[in-house]
Amino acid sequence: MNRQAQACVLLLLGGAVLRASLSDLYLRYVKEGLRPFLIAASLLLIAAAVMTLWYEMRPALRRSTPAADETHDDHDDHGHAHHEPRVAWLLILPALGLLLVAPPALGAYAANQSGTSLSTGGLPEYPPLPDGDPATITVYDYAVRAVFDKGQSIGDRRVRVTGFTVAGVDKQPILTRMRLSCCAADGLPTKVGLSGNTPSGLADDTWIEVTGRYTSRMGRDPINDFEIPYLEVESWRQVPAPRDPYE
């Protein structure tokens, strides 16, 4: 791979990242707050590629000794001292993936590979639920309050949560939402079991909005043996996947 080829690969990679960053596609891979950094990084890649091409193709920079240049070029073309390893061509693959075959966000398959993950975050108290009936909260918020607070901060309030379905060991749907610390590589699932007026016949990765109340029922995740809280479902409806699929 010579410098012109390197520049073209950088240009392709930078363009692919910029395209993803200017749409909602980047939300499948990283948290929303990282968008400015992705745009800046892609612009730097594009600038580096353009400058490399300009430098390599500018006639005025050719040395004053053509014979030496010819020898140097021949060495570059037929030797390998100044060439990057051929494995560098693999950088094209993620760029093409972003441009042509963008993979979906983490879903049921990823959730089935990892046990449910919860943390209190060191908070001694739980903030009041949002106003409204039902109170709209995240799957993670409900699970933390149900497991560590035993539902005391929820009380008799109705809550509304949104997530995708994953089939449990008993084939009953489990409401799930992936949570990111930084990017999809560290994504971990939060799982909430459903009781009462539970949905049936739904395929994995079906997004639903569930309204219900706290129940003391608990299950166990067979992957890591961690507690899975349940939600007593009063009503539910199928909804489109949200713009940002992660919490």
Instruction: Express each pLDDT in 37-96 by its tens digit.
Output: 989 998 998 888 888 888 877 754 554 445 444 444 444 444 444 556 677 777 777 777
Burial of 64 (0-12, 13-18, 19+ CB in 10 A): exposed
Q: How confident is the model at residue 1 (pLDDT cuts 50, 70, 90)?
A: low
Number of domains making up the chain: 2
Same domain, 115 and 232: yes
Give the containing element (helix H, strand E) for 78. helix 66-78
Same domain, 92 and 124: no
Phi-psi region at 85: left, alpha or beta (left = phi > 0; alpha = psi -120 to 50): beta
136 pLDDT more than 80: yes
The range of the structural domain enclosing residue 151 comes to 109-238
Same domain, 42 and 95: yes
Same domain, 59 and 141: no
Task: Assess if residue 176 is contained within a domain.
Answer: yes
Distance CA 10, CA 44 (A): 10
* Residue 70 dihedral angles phi and psi, to the nearest 5°: -65, -40
* pTM beyond cutoff 0.75: no
**Angle subtended at Cα 20 by Cα 17 and Cα 23, rounded to the nearest 5 degrees:** 150
Position 124 scores a pLDDT of: 57
Same domain, 81 and 183: no
Same domain, 148 and 196: yes
* Neighbouring-strand partners of residue 162: 209
Task: Assess if residue 244 is contained within a domain.
Answer: no
Same domain, 157 and 113: yes
Final residue of a structural domain among 85, 103, 121:
103
Same domain, 99 and 114: no
**Residue 234 belongs to a domain with what CATH number?**
2.40.50.140
The model's pLDDT over 180-238, given as tens digits with 9 standing for 90+, comes to 887 777 889 999 999 999 988 899 999 999 999 999 999 999 999 999 999 999 999 99
100 pLDDT more than 80: no
3-state secondary structure of 64: coil
The answer for residues whose C-beta is within 8 angstroms of residue 202's C-beta and 6 or more apart is 165, 173, 208, 238
Q: How confident is the model at residue 151 (pLDDT cuts 50, 70, 90)?
A: very high
Same domain, 150 and 220: yes
